[in-house]
Copies of this chain bind each other. A is one copy, B any other.
Amino acid sequence: MLERLLIPDIRELIAERDFATLGEVLNQWLPADLAALLANLPDDEQMQMFVLLEPAPRAKAFAHFSLEVQRRLLDALPQPDAAELLNRLAPDDRTALFEELPKPLAARLLELLSPEERRVTEELLHYSRDSIGRLMTPDYVAIGKDWSIQQMLDHVRTHGRDSETLNVVYVVGEDGTLVDDLRIREVLLAPLDNHVADLVDGIVVALRASDQRREAVDVFRKYDRTALPVIDAHGILVGIVTIDDVIDVAEQLATRELQRFGGVEALDEPYVRTPLLGMVRKRASWLVFLFLGELLTATAMGYFEREIQKAVVLALFVPLIISSGGNSGSPAATLLIRALALGELKLSDWPWVLRREMASGLLLGLVLGSIGFLRISLWSLFTDLYGEHWLLIAWTVSLALVGVVLWGALSGAILPFALKRLGFDPATSSAPFVATLVDVTGLVIYFSVALVVLRGTLL
């Protein structure tokens, strides 16, 4: 990485206390690079560098830091500098910061904002936490329908500086209702004496401020836009959402999905920055829940204790059987969680999925069953590990494998649908959850098969 290579040079400048050169160099960097460089420095040097930045690059780099670094820098800045910084932040970045701060601190920092910025921030904080309103910025260029293209370009030139994007401008009616969004490409391609009205086609894709953030991800994915307007319940344009923020949301949602699936409550913070005890707590809750479920395996095994006593050989295959169920269920769950998340499947598709997984589960079960049969038969040619009834044991294990693998695929496939139907996140059907479910039932299948096949011989 560029930043890491440059650190020795920067360090040298720090050591020489050549802050003039340092400031000159740093102020020319791209905000994202600045943030990456500073994130790699020890706290005190980080602060030394940060104060060398001019207000504009400082605010831009600040938006790239993690919350933890943001808090530390804000704390350490003199109050006037902190005030300037906060006033310069883009409204959506500021809302995200205030959201995560303890209430009293947020209230104190809110006081530092100019009346205008404070009003904006309070309005945005009014939307619920996971709503599109929280991703919004009110900094956009709004234009009238009866303007000429030339008028509009002049307006952009004088009023566009604070807009979060100039890739799209928004045509609004006199009451503030959204009429259309014009991509700047349409404007740039139009003759200068045309009017805005000539470009307006009335087809506009808009988000609703009160909708869930996930909705924004889906709409952006579908329409290939870089910014989308946000309207309230009355169709009034209240802000815009830009794609960079939506990408961050998409990434967070993907992380959550993977973590849920892996059997850990979503951390919502990077692994490296989650405190040890906080992480243990988040992992313990699921682990304990699953453990209580797994205790049922001890109950199930206890129920078959007499059979195990009579035929200890049955116990040898217990881990093999139950793990095969989990290994069959986990991929099924993955495939269906993802298909549901991407909208490839709807709730009502469950009968189709059930039939399909029945076919795959059966085929996969037959494959494993055959391998199991072969393995027991082969071993029995050379050892007497499985006793005189090895052929019956082989049949028991193979049939149980078919049943358990089929059952695993079915449970793994249907659980995401059931959870979604009940209003839970389908990704809660985590790999460990499916495995636990199939472990207990797998034991019952195995010993039931054994009772039938081995009746009169071993049992």
Contact assessment for B287 and A301 in the assembled complex, using a CB-CB cutoff below 8 Å: no
Bits for A162-177, please: 1 = Cβ < 8 Å to B, else 0: 0101110000000000
Instruction: Report which of B226, B243, B385 forms a contact with A302, defined as CB distance below 8 A.
Output: B385
A335: interface (CB < 8 Å): yes
> A36 — which chain B residues lie within 8 A by C-beta?
222
**A430: shortest Cβ distance to chain B, in Å?**
8
Contact assessment for A334 and B298 in the assembled complex, using a CB-CB cutoff below 8 Å: no
> A323 — which chain B residues lie within 8 A by C-beta?
290, 294, 297, 322, 435-436, 439
Cα–Cα, bound, A250→B244 (Å): 13
Cα–Cα, bound, A286→B342 (Å): 24
> A185 — which chain B residues lie within 8 A by C-beta?
160, 163, 165-167
> A255 — which chain B residues lie within 8 A by C-beta?
338, 342
Instruction: Report which of B160, B165, B335, B344 forms a contact with A264, defined as CB distance below 8 A.
Output: B335
Contact assessment for A263 and B330 in the assembled complex, using a CB-CB cutoff below 8 Å: yes
**A187: shortest Cβ distance to chain B, in Å?**
9
Contact assessment for B263 and A344 in the assembled complex, using a CB-CB cutoff below 8 Å: no
A157: interface (CB < 8 Å): yes
Contact assessment for A319 and B316 in the assembled complex, using a CB-CB cutoff below 8 Å: no
Cα–Cα, bound, A36→B28 (Å): 46
A312: interface (CB < 8 Å): yes
Cα–Cα, bound, A29→B222 (Å): 14
Cα–Cα, bound, A195→B205 (Å): 36
> A337 — which chain B residues lie within 8 A by C-beta?
258
- Number of chain A interface residues as a range: 35 or more
Contact assessment for A345 and B288 in the assembled complex, using a CB-CB cutoff below 8 Å: no
A189: interface (CB < 8 Å): yes
A267: interface (CB < 8 Å): yes
Contact assessment for B327 and A290 in the assembled complex, using a CB-CB cutoff below 8 Å: yes
Contact assessment for A258 and B338 in the assembled complex, using a CB-CB cutoff below 8 Å: yes
> A309 — which chain B residues lie within 8 A by C-beta?
312
> A368 — which chain B residues lie within 8 A by C-beta?
287-288, 291
> A327 — which chain B residues lie within 8 A by C-beta?
263, 286-287, 290-291, 294, 432, 435-436
Contact assessment for B157 and A375 in the assembled complex, using a CB-CB cutoff below 8 Å: no
**A37: shortest Cβ distance to chain B, in Å?**
12
**A292: shortest Cβ distance to chain B, in Å?**
8
Q: List 17 A-B contacts (CB under 8 A).
A: A160-B185, A160-B188, A167-B184, A221-B251, A257-B258, A261-B431, A263-B327, A263-B334, A271-B344, A271-B345, A280-B363, A291-B327, A294-B323, A295-B320, A298-B316, A308-B315, A323-B439
Given contacts A160-B185, A166-B189, 15 further A-B contacts (CB under 8 A): A160-B189, A167-B185, A220-B247, A247-B247, A254-B254, A258-B258, A264-B335, A270-B339, A271-B345, A284-B363, A291-B372, A294-B323, A294-B327, A301-B316, A319-B443
